[in-house]
Chains A and B, each alone.
Chain A
Amino acid sequence: MFKIMYKKELSPGIFHMDIEAPRVAKKAKAGQFIVLRVDEKGERIPLTIADFDVEKGTITLIFQVLGASTMQLSALNEGDSIVDFAGPLGQPSEINGNMGTVVCIGGGIGVAPVYPIARAMHEAGNKVISIMGAKTKDILIFEDKMRAISDEVIIATDDGSYGVKGFVTTALQQLVDRGEKIDQVTAIGPGIMMKSVCDATRPLGIKTIVSLNPVMVDGTGMCGGCRVQVGDEMKFACVDGPEFDGHLVDFNNLMSRGRMFREQEAKAKEHVCNIGLGR
């Protein structure tokens, strides 16, 4: 059993949880993910690591309530436990001190997994410019954390309630327009956002890394459900990724595959609503 040490609703439907998993915390690196199960009948859900604390022995997860499982997870409180927690999984981000200027882009709750990557890039001595995107000001997360480890933070909201009005690509374009020399972009967020970022950086020849979160079952390199088309190759996000060269990723296929279980997801949510969250 893995205990929930801290819980906070950051904005409506978006939760921060610290889970006690000292062995995982000791080994976790920026860019990796974990797989958890809420209860004995639960599904295995992959979540990217948003932070880790070796001393406290905790892993921070940020998740948005979308389906039945995240709804159940969100109903648990500090002191409650989940049955399974496995990780760290996936390849860590490739980070060194000679990356130059890196633009770290997080859209929605994608800001959370971008945070440890941006922090590691910053700690390695690179110039980090962060772009944080949200629909509206109220659901923006991790602003203080991002400011603490970035040389500059640009915020973009769809409705213009905070920062630049527009998408993360609008903010990125401003950087380009002002003549900022960008050596790498790392973008994490919804598929359509990552696709737009890649479409913007491709003609400029800026190396762009994206972190993918496709459907997975085991997450350890066995089921093959997380396969993604990267250039001419079929790759598996769980062991080859989750980070890939964004210019080579077939985002249309990724997004289409993300809808494969939509009908079942609706049914599962209805089921959990009907019988209560305890299943």
Chain B
Amino acid sequence: MALVLEKHKMPEQDPQVRAHNFQEVALGYDEETAVAEANRCLGCKNPQCRPGCPVGIDIPAFIGKIKERDFDSAISIIKESSSLPAVCGRVCPQENQCEKNCVLTHKGESVAIGRLERFVADYQLDKNEEVKPIEFAPDAQKVAIIGAGPSGLTCAGDLARKGYKVTIFEALHVAGGVLSYGIPEFRLPKDKIVKREIDNLQKMGVTIEVNSIAGRLFTVDELMDEMGFDAVFVGTGAGLPHFMNIPGESLNGVYSSNEFLTRCNLMKAYDFPNHATPIAMGKKVAVVGGGNVAMDAARTSLRLGADKVYIVYRRSEAELPARAEEVHHAKEEGIDFKLLNNPVEIIGDENGWVKSLECIRMELGEPDASGRRRPVAIEGSEFELDVDTVIMAIGNGPNPIVASTTPGMDTNKRGNIIADEETGATTKEGVFAGGDIVTGAATVILAMGAGKKAAAAIDEYLKSKK
């Protein structure tokens, strides 16, 4: 069979249309396309894709089952390693992970592993099969998980499958963490995907308690000493947003990306006033930052009715931390990239609202500690960008609530919890941690990987204790 050098295209909503709605952008493969794409896989004896997966999915095996049209077996193989395949198939940066080392990349494009994962995950969700509840032993040990985001959900799923009774305590009123409050509906549908994956975990036997502020309602010590939990996993995720410390950040019309996206995704402000949470914004928006969150905020602004949306980023296109696909989608939808520009001041009008964003042009100098070329301001190149809304998407610090109420669990000078990279073990016995609260802002799949490693380590720890 002749080698097909390019991935099968995944149908997408037209950019002009989708820029004004919140429906999913990418529409997914149909069966025929999925099988044809699976057939591009050479089934390498020594597959290079698998080591690239943070949760270690047996990629050649599941693709092999798609070739045979045995989609049920394909998803079963994925689920041995991943609790949230429909999520990962959508939001993983596959191009930097599994697909990066695919042997086909020597000649052309890799196998579309992410799209295939999405296909079989959706195939199974659409079948609406009964999820078999786990039968727990009467003396099953109990694990508490703090935070129902990617790391916590993964850790919970793995531990429940090993027979532990797991309770997840979630601070918000909805489970999912960043999957619910951060990533927009048009990239990751909430009811269709996130809620169903979480429902399945609950049907399997994982308990989720929302509205439960760990560190305030109960401490980690109380979980273990009074509430009967044998181990605790802390996956509290991203915390307080960073700002730039430039004048004008307290003006009306300035948001952190966390607030902006939470209003829209979690609280459904796009459906205001039918949903009660509003977003106050103008028609001209500047999003500061170059990561996936910045792309999400920019594209969300368009969908909320902005006429003009800028990405303001201090380095050049090559350094944009966002996935190439997200940048591509943003450009297709008409986002204006102001690269090599850095905000110096947000200027307000007489009513305390944003009137413009003063920026300075940058050029790239010598590489810095991160290996990327350091942006240097070009003196005297300041200019004003005419905007009425500014969204700061430059990252988060850790949430302090759990760490500050857990003596014996050490944090580093930034406030992130110190945890062993391989096991997630913290400096406090029986307490493990993973995801953004340990690493600082990273990706869904890395958090899931951390949750998975911690689940294995908790299993070891509890077996040794029994």
Contact = CB atoms under 8 A, between A and B. Distances in A.
B272 interface: yes
Contact of B173 (A24, A86, A250): A86
Given A223-B241, A224-B240, A224-B258, A218 B172 contact: yes
Given A83-B173, A225-B259, A69 B276 contact: yes
B378 interface: no
A85 to B, nearest CB: 6
Interface of A: 23-24, 27, 37, 41-44, 68-69, 83-89, 217-218, 220-225, 227-229, 234, 236, 239, 250, 253, 256-257, 259-261, 263-265, 267-268, 270-272, 279
A86 B171 contact: yes
A220 B240 contact: no
B399 A267 contact: no
Contact of B213 (A42, A43, A89): A89
B273 A271 contact: yes
13 contacts: A27-B218, A44-B267, A86-B171, A89-B213, A218-B262, A220-B172, A222-B240, A223-B262, A227-B250, A261-B280, A265-B278, A270-B273, A279-B274
Contacts of B256: 223-225
Most buried by B among A225, A236, A271: A225
A43 B171 contact: no
In the A-B complex, list the 4 residue pairs whose CB atoms are closest, starting with the nearest: A264-B278, A271-B273, A224-B256, A256-B352
A220 B213 contact: yes
A85 B238 CA distance: 22
Interface in B230-247: 238-241, 243, 245
B252 interface: yes
Contacts of A264: 272-273, 278-280
Contacts of A272: 273
A229 B258 CA distance: 19
B401 A220 contact: yes
Summarize B's interface: helix, strand, loop or mixed. Answer: loop
B356 to A, nearest CB: 18
Interface of B: 171-173, 181, 210-213, 216-218, 238-241, 243, 245, 249-250, 252-253, 255-256, 258-259, 262-263, 266-268, 272-280, 352, 399-401
Contacts, number: 132
A260 B280 contact: yes
Nearest to A232: B245
Contact of B249 (A42, A83, A234): A234
Contacts of B255: 225
Contacts of A236: 240
A268 B273 contact: yes
Contacts of B239: 221-222
Contacts of A270: 273
A227 B267 CA distance: 20
Contacts of B172: 86, 218, 220
Contacts of B211: 84-86
B405 to A, nearest CB: 11
A256 B80 CA distance: 53
Given A221-B401, A224-B240, A236-B240, 11 more contacts: A43-B277, A44-B267, A86-B171, A86-B211, A87-B213, A224-B258, A225-B256, A234-B245, A234-B249, A239-B401, A261-B280
A220 B240 CA distance: 9
Nearest to A258: B252
Contacts of A229: 250
A42 B171 CA distance: 17
Nearest to B239: A221
Contacts of A259: 252, 352
Contacts of B268: 41
Contacts of A42: 276
Nearest to A268: B273
Nearest to A259: B252
Contacts of B171: 86, 218, 220
Contact of B217 (A23, A217, A257): A23
Given A84-B211, A234-B243, A263-B280, A257 B250 contact: yes
